[in-house]
Amino acid sequence: MKISRKQLALLAAMGMAAGFAAQAATPAMGFFVSSKGSGKGGDLGGLKGADALCQQLATSAGAGNRTWVAFLSTQGEGAVNAKDRIGNGPWYNAKGALIAQNLADLLKLEVKINAQTALDEKGQPVPGIPLGPDGAPVAMPDLMKVEHDILTGSQADGTAFKDAMDHTCNNWASSTDGTAMVGHHDRISRNPGLSPWAAVHPTAGCSVEKIRPSGGTGRLYCFAK
């Protein structure tokens, strides 16, 4: 059966319309784990520098039309809560999977952040704790191949620490002294139980060399406001 030019044009238009509809059906990315850190450990250039990194990575992934910020808290006078910086959702990952409908949903223990959903801006998985054949975490993983420690400087509820200990690498300006609180993007640790995504343990220090051995490379959680 011969197809006329008019029919070919109609079929092409229908195909384009279907493509646009499929594209429109995929929610815009509003959350990702940064594919890299600052390269200077806990020195992110403050909140401004961390936000700029999130914006840069989002732009490189074609999502720079939104305002992106890092999920980070600060301490001391004028302390900032990470949860107050990121808007109120909803947030979807690069594959269009819903992470959280709103802030209350994000801070629930059952939030949909895990190794399968906490992807980077390119939609790629972030190296986490490997699982054995039985589905249980490998007891002694090679932590130099794990990057699940994500910098937050926050408590599990997304608020700033109020004690005198440094949990933010001097408010994200130090690559030497201090420590930083991290969460696990994969929700897995070597200990039993579900690891919080926002606050699990402090780093050993603020340099790249101090952050790396526990399973991190200075990555951030980035949210679109």
- What's 123's DSSP letter? S
Q: Write out pLDDT tens, residues 57-81.
A: 999 999 999 999 999 999 999 999 9
Residues in the chain: 225
Pairing of strands 91-92, 98-100: antiparallel
- Per-residue confidence at 12, pLDDT binned at 50, 70, 90? low
Average pLDDT, the chain: 91
pLDDT at 114 over 80: yes
Report the pLDDT averaged over residues 115-126: 98
Q: Three-state secondary structure along 184-210?
A: ECCCCCCCCCCCCCCCCEECCCCCHHH
Q: List Cα–Cα distances, 180 to 14, 68, 103, 146, 165, in angstroms.
A: 53, 21, 23, 17, 10
pLDDT at 67: 98
Residues facing residue 188 across a β-bridge: none
- Per-residue confidence at 183, pLDDT binned at 50, 70, 90? very high
Instruction: Name the percent of the chain lying above pLDDT 70.
Output: 87
- Alpha-carbon dihedral sign for residues 172, 177, 181, 182: positive
Which of 113-122, 146-155, 191-200 has the lowest average pLDDT? 191-200
Residue with tokens 């109120």: 88
66: three-class secondary structure by DSSP: coil
pLDDT at 17 over 70: no
Residues facing residue 221 across a β-bridge: 33
- Amino acid letter at 106? L
- Per-residue confidence at 143, pLDDT binned at 50, 70, 90? confident
pLDDT at 20 over 50: no
Q: What does the CA dihedral 160, 202, 156, 216 come to, rounded to 10 degrees? A: 110
Higher pLDDT, 211 or 135: 211
User: How far is it, in rounded angstroms, from Cα 221 to Cα 225?
Assistant: 13
The yes/no answer on whether domain 30-224 falls in CATH 3.10.100.10 is yes
Residues facing residue 209 across a β-bridge: none
Q: Please answer whether residues 203 and 149 qualify as being in contact, where contact means their C-beta atoms are separated by less than 8 angstroms.
A: yes
Query: Dihedrals φ, ψ of 217, to 5°?
Result: -130, 20
**What is the pTM assigned to this prediction?**
0.87
